[in-house]
Amino acid sequence: MRKMLLAMSLLGLAMTVQAEEVHYVIKVTPTLAYIDAGQQTGTQKGDVYLLLRERGEHFTQVAEVEIVRVDSAFSIGEITYVEPGEKVEVLQRALSERDWQMMADQAHEAALMRGGQSESERPDGALGKRSILFMMGGEWGRSTDLRWNAQNNLLAEARSGNGLGIGVRLGQVLQNRWRLNFTYSTNAGGDVDDLVIELDMHRLLSDYNRAGLYIGAGVGLHQLSIDAPGTSDDSANKLGFNLMAGLQIPGRWTFVAETGLQRVVTWGPSIDMSNVRTYIGLGRAF
């Protein structure tokens, strides 16, 4: 119970509104506290009351008492615990453990409605478990600037170049700090078109609904195509492997900044879509 009262300051406003639930200490002895709650208010022998000191708009726990005698208008409680550095005094507030639990339940329900609860309090399927993210960024160091041999229409070389990538990512949170992602993307720049389907797993370094860093790895299937002269092959499917690290800032809109290394199996002797990429993204959780 004493650990639960660490959150009492969060209930200050609720307790003020429901002041009829809170009583007063009217007399104190070295071992007993008299409270102006008796049979008329439903107090019973064995009930536990929390003695509270007002601190601005909030309350701080002072002690606990167990009711040993009940009169019609007041009760006598044995002081069973006193917080270090605190002292039981007349006119301190007294709240029954039963009423406190009811208030705590109401505060919890209000937090659920506001969407401000911690991950451990969220039910399965709560807001934010799934997300959609629209991404755009640069892909650096790809060998996609092609040079053809005019005599035999064969590829002579593929020079290094950069490109612009765009994509959409669907995410599903698993066990709070793991997120499975499905990404569909394409790019522009260079002479090779690349349509990509990726499956990645992210390890979040903080709760999925909080700002923080993440790292991840995954695989991708790349559908490559070129405008090849003559009878040269103009398309191929290649496997890719991804490593990434990023920063997410959730809110009404989620912002993501990500960098990573993408390794793609080369096409022929020289076409290599492997790159270092930097992306930014904006999306929503649902």
Q: Where are the domains of the chain?
A: 4-117, 130-285
pLDDT, tens digit, for every residue of 125-152? 334 588 999 999 999 988 888 888 877 7
pLDDT, tens digit, for every residue of 36-92? 989 988 889 999 999 988 876 677 889 999 999 999 999 999 999 998 889 999 999
For the CA atoms of 159, 160, 166, 168, what is the dihedral angle to 10 degrees? 100
User: What single-letter DSSP state applies at residue 272?
Assistant: B
Q: Is residue 113's pLDDT more than 60?
A: yes
- 58-70/130-148 β-pairing: unpaired
* Residue with the larger pLDDT of the pair 239 and 10: 239
- 192-204/212-226 β-pairing: antiparallel
Check residue 53 and give its pLDDT.
86
The domain made up of 130-285 has a fold known as Porin (2.40.160)
| Spatial separation of the C-alpha atoms in residues 144 and 129, rounded to whole Å | 38
Check residue 12 and give its pLDDT.
47
| Spatial separation of the C-alpha atoms in residues 257 and 278, rounded to whole Å | 8
What would the two tokens of residue 180 be? Answer: 């499975």
Query: In this structure, which amino acid lies at residue 251?
Result: G
Give the whole-number percent of the chain exceeding pLDDT 90. Answer: 45
104-113, 151-160, 176-185, 216-225: range with lowest mean pLDDT: 104-113
Q: Is residue 118's pLDDT more than 60?
A: no
Q: pLDDT band at residue 155, thresholds of 50, 70 and 90?
A: confident
Residue 86, judged by CB atoms within 10 A of its CB (0-12, 13-18, 19+), counts as middle
**For the domain 4-117, what is the CATH code?**
2.40.10.170
pLDDT, tens digit, for every residue of 204-245? 998 888 899 999 999 999 999 888 776 566 889 999 999 999
- 155-174/75-82 β-pairing: unpaired
Average pLDDT of span 2-11 = 44
| Spatial separation of the C-alpha atoms in residues 264 and 45, rounded to whole Å | 75
Q: pLDDT band at residue 2, thresholds of 50, 70 and 90?
A: very low
- Going by C-alpha positions, the residue among 163, 280, 99, 188 that lies closest to residue 107 is 99
Computed over every residue of the chain, the mean pLDDT equals: 83
Q: Give the phi and the psi of residue 232 in degrees, each rounded to 5.
A: -65, 150
Same fold, 4-117 and 130-285: no
Whether the CA torsion 275, 279, 285, 286 is positive or negative: it is: negative
- Going by C-alpha positions, the residue among 123, 61, 127, 125 that lies closest to residue 92 is 61
Give the whole-number percent of the chain exceeding pLDDT 70. Answer: 82
Check residue 112 and give its pLDDT.
64
17-21, 22-26, 168-172, 204-208: range with lowest mean pLDDT: 17-21
Q: Is residue 110's pLDDT more than 80?
A: no
| Spatial separation of the C-alpha atoms in residues 105 and 87, rounded to whole Å | 28
User: What single-letter DSSP state applies at residue 38?
Assistant: -
Say if residues 273 and 162 touch (Cβ distance below 8 Å): no
3-state secondary structure of 227: coil
